[in-house]
Chains A and B, each alone.
Chain A
């Protein structure tokens, strides 16, 4: 017994409350949201830096550099957009406690992530500038690198969830909450990509 001077008066019984919940009722959702805000500010500031550097230039991409090749970046964008189809299916399946569908689709997302990383390799190769050649090269490498780290982390998370789902852990509804939140994070990853795609591939073309 603690030395509180107030005796308890039992008003409300919470034993009937659920032990997990989706979306904003769950704690981890708020954690994920906070990290998305942090990373979103990171992207926003990097984009601001991009425009700040661009404002120093007469021409963008500057002088001797050709704008980046479009093929790999556009292919990447298409795959990324298409990945939202299995992604939202997973999200829905998790919300409906449909473990079987989640188990089927998580490897698909893993494969897509891997494919994206391969395409990303070609993207770095098609920038037509190296990071140490000018500030222009530095900033577009930085944007692409920043985004790649997000692909890698989410891919890692997806692999882990996929393996987890195959164990008895998959039956725990809290793992489905995790799966739902992973799907949410993937949305953030591709949404963040769209402005970066425009900045890396199209803006240097428009002001060249």
Chain B
């Protein structure tokens, strides 16, 4: 409904929710206010966090499939020594694309997608803090991903590794525009991640349901808050680094040119100051999933909630003090290394505490072995190996041997697949009925779980051995006779198992979305607010904004759900609460659907892509961007709207 149409309505018809306006009547009115405009343009202009979150997740899974395909190609190439399936230059492109896609286009976006989808639902609010920024974030992410993959398919994909160390990525050795495309893709995902993080932070701080003080926030929300702040503090670092790289390559600055007092190590410092927190930006939301799943499937609240929260916060802070452990082999002053060794090892304390709390919760409760919990169990068994190899490579004398070998490849796949993808698959299974109103098949789910779990061990455990047997990373081939044949063959076989299992998982997703068993509002008997609304949730999320009195609102609610009333229903109105204790404070309107975030992304894309070729593109390209932003932020109606009468 446009504002003009709304203004025509007689005032007597306008009402607020309350005892007199509830149920189906209210549903109809709210649905009218919160629905998207019709048609394809309406779809493009959606600012609904559920739409955006779903698009984020689906797109990220598509990138996972693409990058996974590349992984299979690499495993085929490495399945035997001196293989010539893929040439050197192509292989370098492939592993660059694999790493870049997995880190920038799958792992971070999929986590943010889950956060965007779930956060307002778990907080008991109707929208994200900045819905248009959120939509803009998605489109920008999509543009960045397309840029990279279109370039790759046109045979101008980057070939400098996902870490892009200069001088290899610099103007002299990074030939052509391949590196520029990589760096500009980073800028896109950067902007997208920052936009999403800003919106999430403000949502969590200001839009919690009344009574949901900081101490009653679900742990997943804590994880989201910590990771969003980490995004805010770490992403500028890689943006600065890649900006400097682009300007070195385009306008001949000397940031990384040692001959003119620049320094190649400057890149490594800036990159890892972002790159290490990045790992936790992926891992912490996963621990949030685990906490939610463990609580629901143990049928009890998490043991020692404050410890888990403190562990999340501590990990977030410590993550910024570890970046040098990626640089132990660069010959920095040896004495400083001890600090980073100690700090790197110290991270295992908060992680160990979280693991304790999960196990204790399972111990105290009565576990129900459904697919989400299976993934959590698989996560603990797998992730702990990755965590412990992390302790091993935190030690300088060990790292100097193992650094940049397949041991590291094994380590971070244990941490990222075991530590983040397993919980993610569990979380998708767990929240799938909420998002679609249908349950996933349990039998297919269990089959794919066991195949992924066992296939993963087969694929990645032998890599530890390959690394110790002297196999460096990022090699397109290796000679026979070094003890690398067997581990590599096993890895390749394992990767095939994982690929089949992931296909099964996707098959399960598709089949269940079409014909799965219908899910009630709370299929697993969960305690957090997202289970209080129907599956799938209505556009407006909650009929009435709930009031929260405990850590497990649905378990402690009793017969009736306490709610607030008196919000406008003819306008997208949100209830803001105070930052710490979440007392109802202000009613603010939320943004209407708009095409402008999409148009702004188009303008931004033109500017960014052209700026690969000429610096003047920045000066000229900013004009359409500014126009799009202006239209985006322009207030909707010139007159302040009348407050509706209270019926």
Interface residues of chain A, those whose CB is within 8 Å of chain B, are 1-21, 24-27, 30-31, 34-35, 37-39, 41-42, 45-46, 49, 52-53, 56-57, 62, 131-139, 141-142, 156, 160, 164, 167-169, 171-175
Whether the Cβ atoms of A11 and B236 lie closer than 8 Å is no
Whether the Cβ atoms of B262 and A13 lie closer than 8 Å is no
Whether the Cβ atoms of A26 and B586 lie closer than 8 Å is yes
Whether the Cβ atoms of A46 and B240 lie closer than 8 Å is yes
- Which residues on B sit within 8 Å (CB–CB) of A46? 240
Whether the Cβ atoms of A9 and B640 lie closer than 8 Å is no
Complex partner residue of B254 from A2, A17, A41, A134, CB under 8 angstroms: A134
Complex partner residue of A41 from B236, B255, B266, B562, CB under 8 angstroms: B236
Q: A14-B575, A34-B232, A132-B254 are in contact. Are A9 and B561 (CB under 8 A)?
A: yes
- Which residues on A sit within 8 Å (CB–CB) of B23? 1
Q: How far is the CA of A135 from the CA of B248 in the complex (A)?
A: 10
Whether the Cβ atoms of B566 and A14 lie closer than 8 Å is yes
- Which residues on B sit within 8 Å (CB–CB) of A49? 240, 244, 255, 266, 270
Q: How far is the CA of A14 from the CA of B210 in the complex (A)?
A: 10
Number of residues on chain B facing chain A (CB within 8 A): 86
- Which residues on B sit within 8 Å (CB–CB) of A171? 639-640
Pick 22 A–B contacts, CB within 8 A, sort by A. Answer: A3-B534, A6-B557, A9-B560, A9-B562, A10-B565, A13-B18, A14-B566, A16-B566, A20-B586, A27-B206, A38-B194, A38-B236, A45-B273, A49-B266, A134-B261, A135-B262, A137-B254, A138-B247, A138-B255, A164-B635, A167-B638, A168-B639
B475 in contact (CB, < 8 A): no
- Which residues on A sit within 8 Å (CB–CB) of B251? 131-132
Whether the Cβ atoms of B635 and A27 lie closer than 8 Å is no
Whether the Cβ atoms of A11 and B534 lie closer than 8 Å is no
Q: A31-B129, A142-B247 are in contact. Are A26 and B566 (CB under 8 A)?
A: no
- Which residues on B sit within 8 Å (CB–CB) of A14? 545, 564-567, 575, 584, 587
Whether the Cβ atoms of A41 and B560 lie closer than 8 Å is no
Q: Which B residue sits closest to A35, measured CB to CB? A: B198
Whether the Cβ atoms of A21 and B586 lie closer than 8 Å is yes
For residue B85, give the distance in angstroms from its CB to the closest CB of chain A: 42
Complex partner residue of B532 from A4, A26, A56, A167, CB under 8 angstroms: A4
Q: How far is the CA of A143 from the CA of B355 in the complex (A)?
A: 44
Q: How far is the CA of A18 from the CA of B584 in the complex (A)?
A: 11
Q: How far is the CA of A38 from the CA of B236 in the complex (A)?
A: 6
Whether the Cβ atoms of B201 and A53 lie closer than 8 Å is no
- Which residues on B sit within 8 Å (CB–CB) of A2? 27, 521, 533-534, 538, 543
- Which residues on A sit within 8 Å (CB–CB) of B239? 42
B317 in contact (CB, < 8 A): no
In B247-291, which residues have CB < 8 Å from any A CB? 247-248, 251-255, 257, 260-263, 266, 269-270, 273
Q: Which A residue sits closest to B534, measured CB to CB? A: A2
In B561-589, which residues have CB < 8 Å from any A CB? 561-567, 574-576, 578-579, 584-589
Main secondary structure of the interface of B (DSSP, over half): mixed
Complex partner residue of A15 from B129, B255, B562, B646, CB under 8 angstroms: B646
In B231-245, which residues have CB < 8 Å from any A CB? 232-233, 235-237, 239-240, 244
Q: Which A residue sits closest to B130, measured CB to CB? A: A31
Q: A27-B576, A132-B252 are in contact. Are A37 and B232 (CB under 8 A)?
A: yes
Q: Which B residue sits closest to A21, measured CB to CB? A: B586
- Which residues on B sit within 8 Å (CB–CB) of A31? 129-130, 133, 198-199, 202
Q: Which A residue sits closest to B274, measured CB to CB? A: A45
Whether the Cβ atoms of A45 and B534 lie closer than 8 Å is no
B544 in contact (CB, < 8 A): yes
Q: Which A residue sits closest to B254, measured CB to CB? A: A135
Complex partner residue of A21 from B197, B262, B584, B585, CB under 8 angstroms: B585
Q: How far is the CA of A131 from the CA of B244 in the complex (A)?
A: 12
Whether the Cβ atoms of B232 and A13 lie closer than 8 Å is no
Interface centre among B560, B626, B640 (most CB of A within 10 A): B640
- Which residues on A sit within 8 Å (CB–CB) of B321? none
For residue B538, give the distance in angstroms from its CB to the closest CB of chain A: 6
Whether the Cβ atoms of A42 and B236 lie closer than 8 Å is yes
B520 in contact (CB, < 8 A): yes
Whether the Cβ atoms of B533 and A4 lie closer than 8 Å is yes
Complex partner residue of A1 from B18, B27, B206, B545, CB under 8 angstroms: B27
B480 in contact (CB, < 8 A): no
In B160-218, which residues have CB < 8 Å from any A CB? 194, 197-199, 201-202, 205-207, 210
Q: How far is the CA of A57 from the CA of B262 in the complex (A)?
A: 10
- Which residues on B sit within 8 Å (CB–CB) of A4? 521, 532-534, 543, 561
In B383-434, which residues have CB < 8 Å from any A CB? none
Q: How far is the CA of A208 from the CA of B452 in the complex (A)?
A: 62
